[in-house]
Amino acid sequence: MLSIQNLNVNYGESRVLHDVSMDVADGSVVCLMGRNGVGKTTLLKSIMGILKARGGHVTFGGADMTTRPPNVRAQSGIGYVPQGRGIFPYLTVYENLLMGLEAFGSKKRDMSGIDRVYGTFPVLKEMAGRTAGALSGGQQQQLAIGRALVRHPKLLVLDEPTEGVQPSIMHEIENVIASLRDDGGMAILLVEQFLDFALRVGDRYYVMETGRIVSQGSMAEFSDDVAREYLAV
């Protein structure tokens, strides 16, 4: 589904990602892990086309995305939840979800996405008329994920979905990730700091250190040594 080959990304003249390669298979949950500042968010932004790569390729569903801007990537079926969620606090929950449909200039509105999100996160239906800024941290995270789902993406990219959420909501997000994969066949790529959460939801793991992938594999291959050396555990 998503394939990244030898991606190089700079901030100015400083190289932040070095020859990063990664694959996310259909219907799989891939966790990208590593300490703060190693380049995880930079990689997600590069996948989304928010940052321009200096070299390498991003292929999605067989199409080369490398030169395509973020709106085209989103229209072609990638939903993105940025770190800090990126929701509009002065708009209502419903208006935020509508933004997910409209943000990329789609002329034909498919409202079924909003009903589906209400099915996934009933609390968003209950709170549809409330301003997003009045929701709890966990509810805002659900809204941010919901907004990325309204366009029925084939791949969902999540930057630290558990950041600032209560354990009960964390559990709900875990269930949603599992059901999007199992019932919807969706592929999910997430950056995750909580090792326990990542081990529960992930099918495959990539570990980064200073802009390079230093380890990858299934849970069975994901050794305690790697966790100790490269993760904040």
Residues binding ligand ADP (CB under 6 A): 11, 16, 34, 36-42
Shortest Cβ 65–ligand ADP spacing (Å): 19
**39 vs 100, beta carbon nearer ligand ADP:** 39
Rounded CA separation 205/214 (Å): 11
**11 vs 122, beta carbon nearer ligand ADP:** 11
Contact in structure between 17 and 42 (CB atoms under 8 Å): yes
Burial level of 230, CB count in 10 A (0-12/13-18/19+)?
Answer: middle
Shortest Cβ 63–ligand ADP spacing (Å): 25
**37 vs 167, beta carbon nearer ligand ADP:** 37
**42 vs 140, beta carbon nearer ligand ADP:** 42
Which of 141, 49, 56, 159 is closest to 104 using CA atoms?
49
Rounded CA separation 186/209 (Å): 27
Q: Can you read off the two tokens belonging to residue 25?
A: 């298979």
Shortest Cβ 47–ligand ADP spacing (Å): 12
Shortest Cβ 210–ligand ADP spacing (Å): 8
